Chains A and B, each alone.
Chain A
Amino acid sequence: MDFLTILQIMDSAVRLATPLLLACLAGLFSERAGIFDIGLEGKILASAFFSAGVAALTGSVWLGLLAGVGASMVFSAIHGLASITFQGNQLISGVALNFFASGITVLVGEAWFSLGGRTPSLSGGERFSPIELPLSETIMPVPVAGPLYHDLISGHTFLVYIALIAVPASWFLLYRTRFGLRLRAVGENPAAVDTAGVSVIKLRYAAMVIAGVLCGLAGVYLATGLAAGFVKEMSAGRGYIALAALIFAKWRPWHALGATMLFGLLEAIANRYQSIDLGGIVIPVQFMQALPYILTVLILAGFGGKAIGPRAGGVPYVKER
């Protein structure tokens, strides 16, 4: 395997990790505030469809971005309504939203475009184009560092950079601000937050809003950055992989970056090689595809440090009557 191949695989890993990272951070905010979010998958899918659909109709990817994020926020709001206001079961609400997304995207897609649930292929201003970072051509001739900068670091769409910036930003917000402290507290012990005179409901809805935006960006990137348009079920389990990455990262932002990069790399390798021959032992591609899930189960089972989520996760907060 030469340097160029490794570089290509790494490059593809970064692209594939981006939607995972955004969705994973979305889940991070939600779960840190004590709301389980297995509806990440649905939010990604809905956002992917509405961003691609609106971009195709209006010719502007920016309007598409607004529509995608908007769709994801609507899903977040419904999830908040069910799990915060009506104190319903958060897992069931997430499952329902996932089904809703997978159905409604095809229904609306068929009504708008009559292409069997797809949107037309996006091109030009309907997609996000790669950004060439300054000097990338100039230092290209420099060995190793040149191609590394030119191929791996430069030349992604702006959402990739947003996702990377979102990691330190999330860390700062969660660990260095008053809002972050309260948000984490509300996921561990909401009664204490309530006693301190801070509204549990408002904090949890705020977490839902942040999760909606981040997850929306994941879907927008999927349909207008990574791919050129929407196809049926294009989220393909990414929301669940993001959830797996969240557990893998033990609900911490920097670790989320590491986990999603690892899962992105696995996907990139699985895409490139049908099977991998390790000196006589052949690893089938299906194993590579299943590896994120297997790793998550192992982590959940407590191999390699215990993964314990926020203590109040999944429990609706009821004030004493």
Chain B
Amino acid sequence: MEKMPRWADVALIPILNLIIAFALSALVILAIGEDPVAAVKMMVTGALGSTYGWGYTLYYTTNFIFTGLAVSIAFQAAMFNIGGEGQAAMGGLGVALVCLYIPFPHWALALVFAMAGGALFGAFWAAIPAYLQAKRGSHIVITTIMFNFIAASLLNYLLVNVLRPQGSMDPASARFPEPTRLPTFQDMFSTAENVMFRGTPANVTFFIALLACVGVYFLMWRSRLGYEIRAFGKNPAASIYAGISPFKLTMIAMLISGGLSGMMSINNTMGESERLIMNSVEGAGFIGIAVALMGRNHPFGVLLAAFLFGFLYQGGGELALWTKIPRELITVIQAFVIMFTGALDNMVRMPVERMFIRAAKRREG
């Protein structure tokens, strides 16, 4: 007997989880003496009320799509990749090296190479933990955490001692040359009399992120490799029996995951800061965990969740600007979302399941 109809699993439970997470967030706002309703209004106006707000919201969304997809692919293969932060930081290094040292005639060509550079460096940073997990049995969660710190130290060293231009005090690379500048939404959508998205960082990378969602969908649900990854994640023993190599799949899933994290850097490093800066990822790698959990590891879910977090991020920034609520409110909301959609999922799922079973029994009479 089916425990629950499919719609309850796909929609009802995630929505209930989210409602609990947001209700608790509202309580937190109340507890620090602010008005949650006013806060939500301000967030909506700040993030979605103008093309300026949208420009930032979609910029953040782009970051979170990449890291969310990255975490979700690893999850499908039953691995928890907490290393998105480090992989994206290393991706930034790849993007920076490509942009600084290859003279490009046009941004489109630069973008292709930067994507490759970012993905390669990110994948490389995921490859070592993946190899250690597959061959030596070291727990991937611990190694990816360690690799986040190692990446931070490495970038710190490179930015201070190697990439920093002479005479500059700032631990950052030189500015990328002009031809690598990506078109922003302002360039693309403004008309002569009407400037849209003025000064916002949203850029052409957003469309790459959408393509990545489509690509991941076809990879995971319409290809043989995706089927193997999902089968391996659901039941490793059975899939090994069916002839799937666990080493190969662990490596491939983590390489794709790291590559997607690394590609995030075309948005923040190439598109926004236009040079490599310290701590360029700003926690987006970790937000990917919340995005993947909330999006139920499906690219479409990831897209929606990334947009929600983009909205929260930009709205939270506005709140910090105009009220006494600090930016860190977003971190708390993020924690609630991870907790209730991830670890405490059963708290909602068990009673709902029981309810459906009881209803089914009653129907049968």
Measuring CB to CB, which residues of chain A are less than 8 angstroms from any residue of chain B? 36, 38, 78, 81-83, 86-93, 95-100, 102-104, 106-108, 110-111, 114, 117, 237, 240, 243-244, 247, 284, 286-287, 289-290, 293-294, 296-297, 300-302, 307, 309
Of the candidates A93, A95, A290, the one whose C-beta lies within 8 Å of that of B154 is: A290
Question: Are the CB atoms of A96 and B339 closer together than 8 Å?
Answer: yes
Question: Are the CB atoms of B33 and A111 closer together than 8 Å?
Answer: yes
Of the candidates A86, A103, A244, the one whose C-beta lies within 8 Å of that of B344 is: A86
Question: Are the CB atoms of B335 and A103 closer together than 8 Å?
Answer: yes
B268 proximal to A (CB < 8 A): no
Of the candidates A86, A92, A106, A300, the one whose C-beta lies within 8 Å of that of B142 is: A300
**Chain B residues within 8 Å of A110, by CB:** 32, 324, 326
Question: Are the CB atoms of A88 and B156 closer together than 8 Å?
Answer: no
Of the candidates B128, B326, B335, the one whose C-beta lies within 8 Å of that of A106 is: B326
Distance in Å from the Cβ of B201 to the closest Cβ of chain A? 24
Question: Are the CB atoms of B146 and A244 closer together than 8 Å?
Answer: yes
A300-B32 contact in complex given A117-B328, A286-B157, A290-B153, C-beta closer than 8 Å: no
A214 vs B49: C-alpha distance when bound (angstroms): 48
B303 proximal to A (CB < 8 A): no
Number of A-B contacts (CB under 8 A): 153
- Chain A residue nearest to B80 (CB atoms) is A91
**Chain B residues within 8 Å of A240, by CB:** 145-146, 149
A89-B347 contact in complex given A107-B329, A287-B157, A300-B138, C-beta closer than 8 Å: no
Interface centre among A89, A107, A289 (most CB of B within 10 A): A107
**Which 3 pairs from chain A and chain B are nearest by CB?**
A103-B331, A93-B343, A300-B138
**Chain B residues within 8 Å of A36, by CB:** 141
Interface centre among A86, A90, A300 (most CB of B within 10 A): A300
Report B265-309 residues with CB < 8 Å from chain A CB. Answer: 286, 289, 293
Main secondary structure of the interface of B (DSSP, over half): helix
Question: Are the CB atoms of B146 and A88 closer together than 8 Å?
Answer: no
A293-B150 contact in complex given A82-B343, A95-B289, A300-B132, C-beta closer than 8 Å: yes
Of the candidates A89, A111, A301, the one whose C-beta lies within 8 Å of that of B343 is: A89
**Chain A residues within 8 Å of B289, by CB:** 92, 95
Question: Are the CB atoms of A97 and B345 closer together than 8 Å?
Answer: no
**Chain B residues within 8 Å of A293, by CB:** 146-147, 149-150, 153
Question: Are the CB atoms of B141 and A91 closer together than 8 Å?
Answer: yes
**Chain B residues within 8 Å of A297, by CB:** 128, 132, 138, 143, 146-147, 150
A293 vs B148: C-alpha distance when bound (angstroms): 9
Distance in Å from the Cβ of A275 to the closest Cβ of chain B? 10
- Chain A residue nearest to B289 (CB atoms) is A95
Distance in Å from the Cβ of B82 to the closest Cβ of chain A? 7
Of the candidates A100, A289, A300, the one whose C-beta lies within 8 Å of that of B332 is: A100
Distance in Å from the Cβ of B68 to the closest Cβ of chain A? 14
Question: Are the CB atoms of B149 and A92 closer together than 8 Å?
Answer: no
Question: Are the CB atoms of B142 and A247 closer together than 8 Å?
Answer: yes
Q: Can you list 14 A-B pairs with a CB-CB distance of less than 8 A?
A: A81-B344, A88-B344, A103-B330, A107-B326, A240-B145, A240-B146, A240-B149, A286-B157, A289-B153, A297-B138, A297-B146, A300-B143, A302-B137, A302-B138
Question: Are the CB atoms of A301 and B132 closer together than 8 Å?
Answer: yes
A110 vs B5: C-alpha distance when bound (angstroms): 45
- Chain B residue nearest to A102 (CB atoms) is B331
Question: Are the CB atoms of A99 and B286 closer together than 8 Å?
Answer: yes
